[in-house]
Amino acid sequence: MSVKLREMLEKRNVAVTAARAMVDKADSEKRSLNEDEQRQYDAHLDEATTLRENIDREQKLIDEEKRELGIKLDQQTDKPPAEEARSKAFRKLLTLDVGNGERLTAEEYRTLTAGNDTAAGFLITPQEFVKQLIAKVKDQVFLRAAATNFSTTNASGLGFPTLENDLDDTEWSTEIKLATEDTKLGFGKRELKPHPLKKLVKISDKLLRADGIDPEAIVMDRAGYKFGITEEKAFLSGTGNQQPLGLFTASALGINTDRDISTDMKQTDFTADALKAVKYSLKAQYMTKASWLFHRDAVAKIAKLKDGNGQYIFEMAEALGAIDTLMGRPLAMSEYAPNTFTTGKYVGMFGDFSWYYIATSLGLRVKRLNELFAATSEVGFIFDMEVDGMPVLSEAFARIKTA
């Protein structure tokens, strides 16, 4: 463990301990936190949350440095001629000095061209670039790591059969009695049809041509960030109309309203009993993989809750690499989970997120725009891909709703 990581972890533990001590003191005196104590408590909790984000970010940077070292080592080995040609052509595409008349050669253009459209075709990224970009998306989007992912080149998408109505239980009978026919068995289908997803990244022309700058890394980082944020929002709150169907969107095709749990919930706050009701509304077979999902504003409220024995139901992780837990199950935070605490709003969920399916088309593409942003000395890169997602098994989730 690096010295910087160890120091941040120690500071987080100090902040958590201080926040806990304040709540314990108020509880022992059978009172609520006064205004000054509440302000100090919130400050400690904010510090702990910020430190956790910084720890995660530092760990990712360390992992990224190790990965980059691995890529550089890989580059020392011989690549197939076609792959090496694509890589060189793509690097040249990113660093062209169009003002001085630089262009791709006919051979380089053919290396990158895949098909034609009304704008004279598009260029595909080299395979290793695509792999790095998708890895970036997984780092930044909670559901990409927890969901079940599929890749497809089928324009009509993917279809999955579902059991909509099951048979009744079997019946005890006698040897010569005919079996009773059961007509309730019924099947349905869930369809994932990847929708176009586009983002424009503008990079300084000077920056692209600067010595010591890796233009691939710059574009990859910006595109990964843009795709990650857009996907996260859709996977959580998408309408399902020309975009993914979100977890917090009530739908008969995804999670129906019969999976909304609001038992004993206060209008603008959580209770320990309500969260217990949410947890045990899920069948046992989903428990082993289930986790909680909240916005950090919701976690700040939950961190204060105790059970009937005076024990905190929320446990902040105290070791590097560990994650916070709530009632014995992992807790994940997303900046794009709902955090409006008024009547009848979704404020979190508990479920097995492997039952959220994501289908991604393989055609990640990039176009370079030289003249459009020339006035500001920038070069534009348009990335587009096709993706869809939806929860496919309603009973695998329990959605928390305010009263």
Per-residue pLDDT tens digits for 25-53: 888 888 888 888 888 888 888 888 888 88
In this structure, the answer to whether residues 72 and 160 fall within a common structural domain is no
In this structure, the answer to whether residues 402 and 271 fall within a common structural domain is yes
In this structure, the answer to whether residues 240 and 305 fall within a common structural domain is yes
Residue 106 binned pLDDT confidence (cut-offs 50, 70, 90)? confident
Q: How far is CA 223 from the centre of its chain?
A: 15
Q: Could you list the residue range(s) of the whole structural domain that residue 13 is in?
A: 1-77
Pairing of strands 365-369, 356-361: unpaired
Contacts of 239 (CB under 8 A, 6+ apart): 245, 246, 249
Cα separation, 281 vs 397, whole angstroms:
9
DSSP letters, 262-296, are: -TT--SSS--HHHHHHHHTTS-HHHHTT-EEEE-H
Question: Which of 23, 43, 77 delimits the end of a domain?
Answer: 77
User: Global pTM?
Assistant: 0.67
Cα separation, 189 vs 18, whole angstroms:
52
Confidence (pLDDT) at 125: 59
Pairing of strands 397-401, 260-261: parallel
Of the two residues 327 and 113, the one the predictor is more confident about is 327
Q: Which residue has the tokens 């201080």?
A: 18
Number of domains in the chain: 2
Confidence (pLDDT) at 124: 57
What are 267-324's pLDDT values in tens digits?
A: 567 888 889 999 999 999 999 999 999 998 999 889 888 888 888 888 877 666 678 8
Cα separation, 376 vs 204, whole angstroms:
8
In a domain, 372, yes or no: yes
Say whether pLDDT at 80 is over 90: no
Cα separation, 45 vs 333, whole angstroms:
14
Confidence (pLDDT) at 47: 87
Q: Are 197 and 384 in contact (CB under 8 A)?
A: yes
**pLDDT over 90 for what percent of the chain?**
19
In a domain, 344, yes or no: yes
The token pair at 83 is 């792959």
Round the average pLDDT of the chain to a whole number and report it. Answer: 78
What are 337-376's pLDDT values in tens digits?
A: 999 988 889 999 999 999 999 988 755 677 788 788 888 8
In this structure, the answer to whether residues 33 and 133 fall within a common structural domain is no
| Closest among 285, 259, 249 to 350, alpha carbons compared | 259
Say whether pLDDT at 13 is over 90: no
Angle at 148 between CA 143 and CA 154, to 5 degrees: 115
In this structure, the answer to whether residues 393 and 339 fall within a common structural domain is yes
In this structure, the answer to whether residues 309 and 378 fall within a common structural domain is yes
Cα separation, 15 vs 52, whole angstroms:
11
The token pair at 157 is 């998408």
Confidence (pLDDT) at 390: 92
